[in-house]
Amino acid sequence: MKKRMMKKQKMIDFKKRIPIEIEWLDAQTWNGTAEDFGEIIKWKPIISYSCGYLIYEDKEKVIISFLNFGDESTKHFQMIPKKMIRRITKLREVK
C-alpha cells in the first residue's frame, strides 16, 4: 500500500502582518438552568467580531492569531469556518 504524501500548506508571510476584522455568526449552547423548547427555538445566531493577524486561509477556513512570536509561532489563535463568516475587513497595516 502506497503512503500518501501530504502537501505542506503555505502559511501567509508573517512579515506582511495583515490585521483583519472578521464578522461571523457564532453557534450557541447553554448548560445552565432548564429551558423550554419554545424559548430555545427563538434563539438567533449571535453576530461576533474577531480581530487578529491573518495567518492562513483556504476555501474552508480562516485562521487568525492574536499573539505572535517571531515569524512562525503563535500562542493564541482562532479558526473560523468560512461558512460562518459574513465579512472580512482588512484593517490598517502595522508599520
Secondary structure of the chain as H, E, C letters = CCCCCCCCCCCCCHHHCCEEEEEEEECCCCCCCCCCHHHHCCCCCEEEEEEEEEEEECCCEEEEEEEEECCCEEEEEEEEEHHHEEEEEECCCCC
* Residue ranges of domains in the chain: 14-28+41-88
pLDDT in tens, 7-66: 455 566 666 678 999 999 998 877 777 778 888 888 888 999 999 999 899 999 999 999
More confident residue, 82 or 12: 82
What's the pLDDT at 12?
A: 63
Taking the model in full, what pTM does it have? 0.73
